[in-house]
Structure 1
């Protein structure tokens, strides 16, 4: 194809400068590079945002799991549990005191009576802590012991109801508590009239006392403590 010629206003031929195609110019490739860089940065930002969202979801999931576990977990008690001392840790003296206390209990003695017997210089001669250990660990029905003692006094010594009660609670006697003694009196089976008569016969035969003197002894607060009715029964049945 013939090149197109150009002339100036004087008719002289002018050589026209051919323009380079735009894709051969520097500014075009610079623009392409910039577009590519921007595109890459945009893609990376999306990936980073996605990864950030995933991390946030994972942290939230772990937090929910932790909170759920803490809510469902049973509370831990700060209270210490008291454990009974094993038998093997008890000293030989303590064991001996406990065994001896059991033997005294079979004799229908009271708690206070057993303790005093354990520490007595004429009895067990145990240390006070050993005796207390025995009292604290022995299993005895003290009401039943009081009742058996009451039955013994009533049947073998012909004592009155009031006399038996006083003997049960006396510091010089059995040393049962007032509650234990009252239980015994309320439940003992005894013929108090017959006891009064047996006591009257004993006074008559051993001391040759008159009926009136016997009556006074039977009802005296310093004597047998029978009731007036029981004493009358005894006197009226003397031979």
Structure 2
């Protein structure tokens, strides 16, 4: 981590302990000499920060990180149908955090397996909708077109034309894909170009590809 990435722009002394995992150890020196920055968490300064966060956020409190992310989130949302407790949802939430999605919407079952999220759900806003009708009502109120992702007849390649700047990217479950109700409600249906023998790719991989396509087109370097 360079000085320019340090909290408050201050030069950081070398860690006082040898690290065996990613992250940084306790901040050296007496607590009274630690940087005076309200974003920093005293517990992390005292015990070290081995969280899976970028260097910019080392020692920041979770609330400070979320506030900083909120100030610059992208205007695309991610929605996932959750009728069968899909294990891919956690991985999709993790990707949504990585690509700085505005919000993740879980449609159907409220409970979902968070293991794949690797605690990134703490930094990512997640909203629940009981059914597709509720998601559609949210989308219409927010004036967000719904872009369904599924390789069904009539879908067009996701890279054939730019995705909307503000939108909801809607993904189905592993195997069955999106429900008929979801496809009917969508303003656009796109698919990922494939060239092998398998009918579809992993749902979380598909979500990451489509989110990256949005970032490629709309996000500043």
More helix per residue: 1 or 2?
1
Greater Rg by CA: 1
TM-score (norm 2): 0.27
More strand per residue: 1 or 2?
2
